[in-house]
């Protein structure tokens, strides 16, 4: 087992974990988290004979706290640098939320010859922002509110999100995990405020329509029907229609952070897709 850094063309240091041997599975985290979001999946797939890799996006976690390049084109280019550095081939790329956008752009633009399959979990594509062509999206004011909260009191904001809608802990009868809340806060506070602020625009305003249309690799979309962060109706149910070779599975009552709250179910479904011929 190992970890390290890859230096990108602009000098940014991208932290990564690289454990085990076998077919590689690369995990892409959500905003504003780190590779540690995937600990449960990393250990599970390591034990099932796979090589597991996860990185901290630029500006997040242990990677360089960049003040520029915090947008999807550069995120995807950073992943390409990581894939080249680790000589990844026949890889499965799994992305959650913002990480799902990163996977979509990377696979569409850089994945030829290196990608076997893709998985998008509670992912942002096609686009989150409400526009004339995307009336079901969220208004710009909603994302302005996120930026305002981050700028005014990031530490409190990063407690409020996991304690509320991210894991569905605001729902009646929810089993609340204080550990999950603290771990979310820990990861968020590791990153750079400027990069996290910029990333809100990246995940909310990027249009992935052309990327989705360009992907030919088998793609699995998993989404919670009670996702309060990324609406399944305005994301996965639209994205699956744009992908050439895809399957959508939704989960009644599951939240945005379902890979943590329902890891046993999500891991089993990921494993079945990875082992399948399609």
Distance in angstroms between the alpha carbons of the first and the last residue of the chain: 30
CA distance 119 to 112: 16
221: burial class by Cβ within 10 Å (0-12, 13-18, 19+)? buried
What single-letter DSSP state applies at residue 9? T
Beta-carbon contacts of residue 175 (< 8 Å; ≥ 6 apart): none
Active centre residues (catalytic) = 97, 227, 256
Residue 205 phi/psi, 5° resolution? -110, -10
CA distance 53 to 25: 6
How far lies 217's CA from each of 34, 77, 154, in Å?
A: 26, 19, 38
What single-letter DSSP state applies at residue 30? P
26: region left, alpha or beta (phi > 0 left; psi from -120 to 50 alpha)? beta
Residues in the chain: 278
Q: Which residues, in sequence order, are bridge partners of residue 26?
A: 53, 93
| 123-156 b/e (C-beta count within 10 Å ≥ 16 → b) | bbbbbbbbeeebeebbeeeebeebeeebeeebee
28: region left, alpha or beta (phi > 0 left; psi from -120 to 50 alpha)? beta
């Amino acid at each position: 087992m190992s970890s390290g850094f890859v230096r990108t063309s602009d000098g940014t240091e991208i932290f990564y974990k690289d454990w085990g041997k076998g077919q590689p599975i690369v995990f892409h985290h959500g905003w504003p988290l780190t590779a540690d979001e995937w600990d449960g999946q990393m250990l599970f797939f390591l034990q099932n004979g796979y090589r597991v890799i996860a990185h901290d996006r630029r500006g997040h976690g242990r990677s360089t706290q960049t003040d520029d390049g915090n947008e999807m084109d550069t995120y995807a280019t950073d992943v390409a640098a990581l894939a080249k550095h680790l000589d990844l081939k026949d890889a499965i790329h799994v992305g959650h939320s913002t990480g799902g956008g990163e996977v979509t752009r990377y696979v569409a633009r850089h994945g030829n010859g290196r990608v076997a399959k893709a998985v998008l979990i509670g992912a942002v594509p096609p686009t989150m922002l409400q526009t004339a062509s995307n009336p079901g999206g969220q208004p710009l004011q909603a994302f302005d509110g996120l930026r305002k909260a981050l700028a005014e009191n990031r530490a409190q904001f990063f407690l409020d999100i996991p304690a509320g809608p991210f894991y569905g802990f605001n729902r009646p009868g929810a089993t609340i995990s204080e550990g999950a809340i603290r771990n979310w806060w820990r990861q968020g506070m590791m990153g750079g405020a400027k990069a996290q602020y910029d990333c809100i625009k990246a995940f909310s305003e990027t249009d992935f329509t052309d990327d989705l249309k360009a992907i030919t690799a088998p793609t699995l979309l998993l989404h919670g029907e009670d996702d309060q962060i990324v609406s399944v109706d305005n994301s996965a149910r639209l994205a699956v229609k744009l992908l050439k070779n895809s399957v959508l599975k939704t989960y009644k009552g599951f939240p945005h952070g379902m890979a943590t709250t329902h890891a046993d179910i999500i891991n089993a479904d990921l494993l079945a897709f990875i082992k399948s011929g399609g």
